[in-house]
Structure 1
Amino acid sequence: MFDEAMGLLVNRATIRGTEAAGGRTGCGRSVRLLVPALTVALGLLLGGVGATGASAVSVCAGRPAKTLRIGTGELRVYKTRSYACVLAVAARPGAYRRMSVQIQPRGGRPVVDSGTFSRQAGPVTVHALNRCVRVSGMIAGRRGSTGWILC
């Protein structure tokens, strides 16, 4: 049975226990029902079952538009109707290394994220409605860049 008010799945034993108690349950019982539901919801929100490392769901909105391989990872470019987003993702996450990512819309200023990261640099997003963008990045000393793309 699905309780619409709470959005929880309730089994018949829980309903019988509630009716036997005069319609009320103790705080312990409701907490025991709520904790597993919240744990599952949080797990799905943070990436789903089995999502790890570089295969995790992207933090950029939109569809994948271009992937540029760099020796120790890749630059991933995503595009929505109005925005372009880029990340630099390490091939083997774990060790901290210097990483940077930059995206520049044509006629605009570049937006940069750089530092020492273990998994990814970015996401960096710019408004790119009817504009080309130029993307560049660096992972552990290996650089990569594109010309004007997404025109």
Structure 2
Amino acid sequence: MDGGAIRRRLALGLAVLTASGLLAVASPGHAEAADACSGRKVRTLPFATGSVSVYKRNGYVCAVTVAKKVSGRKLMSVSVQARGSRPVADSGWYTHHAGPVTVHAGHRCVWVKGSVGSGSVSSGWILC
């Protein structure tokens, strides 16, 4: 291989790495969390430091808490409770989102809660 071919391959490799890096930076962080739940989005519960997205599919309800600002690890949580059942929850120190958590609700109401740092939301019984 001559010097020109080596330079072309290096340039191509650098271009591919640069493009993949730009895509990673430019892609919205919320898409990652939204992809975690399947089904159709039925509610968004906003609060001061984030929001909880609620999805429903074939009797299952899924929820994800997403932080409004991505800046270091924060205490986050999300929980979903079908009426008559125990809540399913996820909490911990996360940078972007907590969850997803999924419950089988059938045609029962659900109670969704979420928090990011000092902000939180509690839905009350919904999707009845």
TM-score (norm 1): 0.64
Secondary structure at 1:129's aligned position in 2?
Answer: coil
What is the aligned partner in structure 2 of residue 35 from structure 1? none
Checking the alignment, whether the CA contact within 8 Å between 1:60 and 1:85 is kept in structure 2 is yes
TM-score (norm 2): 0.75
Find 2:28's aligned residue among 39, 43, 52.
52
Write the letter of the residue equivalent to 2:123. Answer: T
What is the aligned partner in structure 1 of residue 76 from structure 2? 99
Matched positions, count = 106
| Cα distance in 1 for residues equivalent to 2:111 and 2:53 | 12
Q: Are 1:71 and 2:48 matched, yes or no?
A: yes
1:83 shift after superposition: 0.2
Which one has a larger percent strand, Structure 1 or Structure 2?
A: 2
What is the aligned partner in structure 2 of residue 84 from structure 1? 61
RMSD over aligned CA atoms reads 2.1
| Cα distance in 2 for residues equivalent to 1:51 and 1:86 | 21
| Cα distance in 1 for residues equivalent to 2:107 and 2:31 | 30
Secondary structure at 1:114's aligned position in 2?
Answer: strand
| Cα distance in 1 for residues equivalent to 2:75 and 2:65 | 11
Structure 1 spans left out of the alignment, 5+ residues? 1-42
Q: Percent identity?
A: 44
| Structure with larger RCO (C-alpha < 8 A, sep 6+) | 2
Structure 1 runs, 4 residues or longer, greater than 6 Å off: none
What is the aligned partner in structure 2 of residue 145 from structure 1? 122
Checking the alignment, whether the CA contact within 8 Å between 2:50 and 2:115 is kept in structure 1 is no
| Cα distance in 2 for residues equivalent to 1:52 and 1:64 | 17
